[in-house]
Amino acid sequence: MSVQIKTLEQYQEAFRKSIENPEAFWAEIADTFTWYQKWHTVVNNDMITPDVRWFDGAKVNITQNCLDRHIPERGNQTALIWEPNEPDAPTQKYTYSELLAEVCKCANALKSLGVQKGDRVCFYMPMVPEVAIGILACARIGAIHSVVFAGFSANALAERIKDAQAKVVLCTDYNRRGPKTIPVKEVVDEAIEMGCDSVSHVLTYRSTGGDVLWDERRDIWWHKLVDVQSTVCAPEIMDAEDPLFVLYTSGSTGKPKGVVHTTAGYMVFTCYTFMNTFQYQDGDIYWCTADVGWVTGHSYILYGPLLAGATTLMFEGVPGYPDTGRFWQVIDKYKVNQFYTAPTAIRALMAAGWDEPDKYDLSSIKVLGSVGEPINEEAWRWYDEKIGRGNSPVIDTWWQTETGGIMISSLPGITDTKPCFAAYPHPGIQPVILDQNGQIITENNVEGLLCIQYPWPGMLRTTYGDHERCRTTYFAPYPGYYFTGDAAKRDEDGRYRIIGRVDDVINVSGHRIGTAEVEDAINQHPEIVESAVIGFPHDIKGQGIYAFVKATHDVTQPEQLRKEILEMVTKYIGPIAKPDIIQFVIQLPKTRSGKIMRRILRKIAENQYDQIGDISTLINPESVEEIKSGAQHPF
Ligand code: WT7
């Protein structure tokens, strides 16, 4: 792979070229893929707008590049390793040839259900190989996949199915996750009952066995339909800008947005960033612990590694089962070379047993990645010393669902690393820091809003069904820039450190949650008038959720109401959005125009009373003392 950066000089040269001549830079990388027809224009616009088009005129299929393209050279190489929840259960391995055959079978099965190019197919599936096969099968035939994290509730799933008007849903019967068994199909049934009229079929993979309800007109077993299909399915010839997938993510207002990524740009970007970030070499075993329900799973369990011809490991289980050595045992078992996980997992495992990793042979590790939230210095050092034995660079990767792939990170062994810093932009990425007025700050040693000033191939193209929302959310706030929603620092040498969101989005254990969504769920309770949900620093989760809640009456039985509120949130979103703290208040601090003063609540939730500042503009300044006196800080 000639476009893989190997030295600091090459990084600097690639970066310089990507700024001086972005079209030539990206064209050279794109040239390493297989195209049915080449592009006539690399990128249509120098300005960053939601109407950007990459590789226009080109024709391509991403699965042809993930699978078929590799067959002559690595048909018998393992593409996918699957490690089950139970350590003593059999593992599964698919070579590139085998994976291609399975993908074709599933693609033919989807076709037999009437799925056509452009149709949406929803996945509510845990971490089994069939989810990977199903996703690639969609891409094979040009159907748009919409994967919903299988921890979301039936309501949340229904909302996403309806928004995308999905024709088929793929799921499993149950899911074994750690010690728990989760009724996956039941949640899908429940969701479809909520008016998902677009769904004609549910394709269920039998993962655990066990009884499930069955609707003969709608339900089909994977083993009955997929297993009998032909192992050959010609890839659909796609335009560069045909949508590849939708992935719902939370913002500061309203319902989750369906972020849309398209075919060619996403392909080029995920492969290039994968090769450089992890410095993958032939024969390496790469493991990303994310769930396929999030963008990390899309880009760096599936597409990036497969495009690069890598061996990618997929893990069904959780870090703490059967014990907190599970991750290290898996690294030892497969001799994993690149390991990619989230700070929340690192912190939890560090807290569970400082020396636990010493029991395993982790000498295969070459690169350690971190993603999803800021990594604190203690976690960084433990990761570096205990897992990397001080000789495997820790690479903090900053990116977002919307960016498609990694934007800012050190490159292992190439650029330097610094604890808590994602550090340097990848070639082709032009980050800037803006001040509150939207003015660019060019000096170093500064802090401000993180924006991107030039298009890159992996950027989102729209929000499903609402292009205007995409424009107003990301491109209108600071014209000429893509607005990330994050604040960042740039140090004296140009390294970036991500501070966190500046909007009403919180990051709980690496899961992105909109405070407005949690408030909406809480407010569904008939005894609740209004609520304000705020993030606060949490030792393990990064951020916890603090809910200030106003009830219709004096709360005499807070425990009961608290329990019901948690049930409400679980029902409307899922357990990941359950508040850690619920405080009942008599009134919320408001401005004269009736707006809740979230800034004050944030300071109370963060236990920074001295920074509450001026409260004279409140219509009810007395509310602040009342809330302070009832505030809780157990974490
Ligand atoms: C938000 C995006 C990137 C894939 C997983 C999350 C935060 C992400 C980092 C990092 C500090 C980070 C940002 C970003 N974030 N990576 N390395 N350091 N913060 O994707 O769910 O779209 O969330 O996660 O706040 O905006 P996502």
* Tens-place pLDDT, residues 428-442: 999 999 999 999 999
172-219 tens-digit pLDDT: 999 999 999 999 999 999 999 999 999 999 999 999 999 999 999 999
Give residue 254's pLDDT: 82
Q: Tell me how far apart the alpha carbons of residues 215 and 218 are, in angstroms, rounded to a whole number.
A: 6
Ligand 1 neighbourhood includes 249 CB (under 6 angstroms)? yes
Give residue 317's pLDDT: 97
Give residue 606's pLDDT: 94
Residue to mutate, 400, 403, 511, ligand 1, most ligand atoms under 8 Å from C-beta: 400
Ligand 1 neighbourhood includes 342 CB (under 6 angstroms)? no
Ligand 1 neighbourhood includes 108 CB (under 6 angstroms)? no
Site of tokens 């903090």: 396
CA distances for 267 relative to 30, 54, 245, 284, angstroms: 9, 11, 12, 21
The protein residue with its alpha carbon nearest to ligand 1, atom 2, reads 400
Site of tokens 């004609």: 200
Q: Tell me how far apart the alpha carbons of residues 226 and 113 are, in angstroms, rounded to a whole number.
A: 11
Please choose, from the candidates 278, 280, 340, 298, the residue with its C-alpha nearest in 3D space to the C-alpha of residue 62: 298
Q: What's the CA-to-centroid distance between 372 and ligand 1, angstroms? A: 4
Q: Tell me how far apart the alpha carbons of residues 320 and 572 are, in angstroms, rounded to a whole number.
A: 27
Please choose, from the candidates 194, 246, 192, the residue with its C-alpha nearest in 3D space to the C-alpha of residue 219: 192
DSSP designation for 445: S
The protein residue with its alpha carbon nearest to ligand 1, atom 16, reads 372
Q: Tell me how far apart the alpha carbons of residues 404 and 460 are, in angstroms, rounded to a whole number.
A: 7
112-124 tens-digit pLDDT: 999 999 999 999 9
Residues sharing a CB contact under 8 Å with residue 230, sequence separation 6 or more, in sequence order = 104, 105, 108
243-261 tens-digit pLDDT: 999 999 998 888 999 999 9
pLDDT at 443 over 60: yes
294-314 tens-digit pLDDT: 999 999 999 999 999 999 999
Q: What's the CA-to-centroid distance between 501 and ligand 1, angstroms? A: 9
Ligand 1 neighbourhood includes 142 CB (under 6 angstroms)? no
Residue to mutate, 252, 277, 512, ligand 1, most ligand atoms under 8 Å from C-beta: 512
Mean local confidence (pLDDT), 507-531: 96
Ligand 1 neighbourhood includes 395 CB (under 6 angstroms)? no
Question: Using an 8 Å Cβ cutoff, are 262 and 240 in contact?
Answer: yes
Give residue 49's pLDDT: 93
Give residue 253's pLDDT: 83
Q: What's the CA-to-centroid distance between 400 and ligand 1, angstroms? A: 5
CA distances for 145 relative to 193, 286, 295, angstroms: 21, 24, 12
Q: Tell me how far apart the alpha carbons of residues 270 and 249 are, in angstroms, rounded to a whole number.
A: 19
The amino acid at residue 557 is: Q
Mean local confidence (pLDDT), 536-550: 96
Site of tokens 């790469």: 286
> Mean pLDDT score of the chain, rounded to an integer?
97
pLDDT at 364 over 90: yes
Residue 563, H or E segment: helix 558-572
Phi, psi torsion values for 517, nearest 5 degrees: -65, -40
In this prediction, residue 19 has a pLDDT band, given cuts at 50, 70 and 90, of very high
Q: What's the CA-to-centroid distance between 429 and ligand 1, angstroms? A: 16
Mean local confidence (pLDDT), 409-434: 98
Ligand 1 neighbourhood includes 296 CB (under 6 angstroms)? yes
Query: Assign residue 622 a region: left if phi > 0, alpha if psi is -120 to 50, beta otherwise?
Result: alpha
Instruction: Render 172-214 in DSSP notation, one character per residue.
Output: ES-EEETTEEE-HHHHHHHHHHTT-TT--EEEEE-SS------
Q: Tell me how far apart the alpha carbons of residues 62 and 242 are, in angstroms, rounded to a whole number.
A: 11
- In this structure, the strands spanning 168-172 and 201-205 are parallel
Ligand 1 neighbourhood includes 107 CB (under 6 angstroms)? no
Ligand 1 neighbourhood includes 574 CB (under 6 angstroms)? no
- CA 576 vs. chain centroid, Å, equals 14
Residue 394, H or E segment: strand 394-397
Residues sharing a CB contact under 8 Å with residue 24, sequence separation 6 or more, in sequence order = 17
- Ligand 1 atom nearest 498 alpha carbon: 11
The amino acid at residue 100 is: L
Ligand 1 neighbourhood includes 291 CB (under 6 angstroms)? no
CA distances for 9 relative to 15, 98, 414, angstroms: 10, 39, 9
pLDDT at 151 over 90: yes
pLDDT above 90 coverage of the chain, percent:
97
Residue to mutate, 398, 406, 417, 541, ligand 1, most ligand atoms under 8 Å from C-beta: 398
First vs last Cα of the chain: how many Å apart?
48
Ligand 1 neighbourhood includes 511 CB (under 6 angstroms)? no
In this prediction, residue 635 has a pLDDT band, given cuts at 50, 70 and 90, of confident
Give residue 634's pLDDT: 87
Q: Tell me how far apart the alpha carbons of residues 43 and 539 are, in angstroms, rounded to a whole number.
A: 43
SS3 545: strand
Instruction: Render 337-357 in DSSP notation, one character per residue.
Output: SEEEE-HHHHHHHHHH-TTGG
Least confident of 1-10, 128-137, 464-473: 1-10
Q: What share of the chain is helix, strand, coil (3-state, %, to 5)?
A: 35, 25, 40
Q: What's the CA-to-centroid distance between 293 and ligand 1, angstroms? A: 15
pLDDT above 70 coverage of the chain, percent:
100
Q: What's the CA-to-centroid distance between 477 and ligand 1, angstroms? A: 20
The protein residue with its alpha carbon nearest to ligand 1, atom 12, reads 373
Give residue 252's pLDDT: 84
- Ligand 1 atom nearest 397 alpha carbon: 17
Residue to mutate, 148, 371, 383, ligand 1, most ligand atoms under 8 Å from C-beta: 371
The amino acid at residue 250 is: S
Mean local confidence (pLDDT), 54-70: 98
Please choose, from the candidates 503, 505, 500, 508, the residue with its C-alpha nearest in 3D space to the C-alpha of residue 578: 508
Q: What's the CA-to-centroid distance between 427 and ligand 1, angstroms? A: 19
Give residue 476's pLDDT: 97
- In this structure, the strands spanning 120-124 and 144-147 are parallel
111 exposure class (CB count in 10 Å sphere: 0-12, 13-18, 19+):
middle
Ligand 1 neighbourhood includes 399 CB (under 6 angstroms)? yes
Whether this prediction's pTM lies above 0.85 is answered by yes
Tokens linked to 221: 């077993």
Ligand 1 neighbourhood includes 295 CB (under 6 angstroms)? yes
pLDDT at 572 over 70: yes
The protein residue with its alpha carbon nearest to ligand 1, atom 1, reads 400
The amino acid at residue 49 is: T
83-112 tens-digit pLDDT: 999 999 999 999 999 999 999 999 999 999
Q: How many CB atoms lie within 10 A of CB 441?
A: 15
pLDDT at 406 over 50: yes
Q: What's the CA-to-centroid distance between 418 and ligand 1, angstroms? A: 18
Q: Tell me how far apart the alpha carbons of residues 561 and 575 are, in angstroms, rounded to a whole number.
A: 17
The protein residue with its alpha carbon nearest to ligand 1, atom 24, reads 372
Q: How many CB atoms lie within 10 A of CB 560?
A: 10
- The helix-helix angle for 154-164 and 558-572 (nearest 10°) equals 30
Ligand 1 neighbourhood includes 486 CB (under 6 angstroms)? yes
Tokens linked to 133: 């096969």
- In this structure, the strands spanning 92-95 and 78-83 are antiparallel
Give residue 1's pLDDT: 46
Ligand 1 neighbourhood includes 398 CB (under 6 angstroms)? yes
Q: What's the CA-to-centroid distance between 275 and ligand 1, angstroms? A: 20
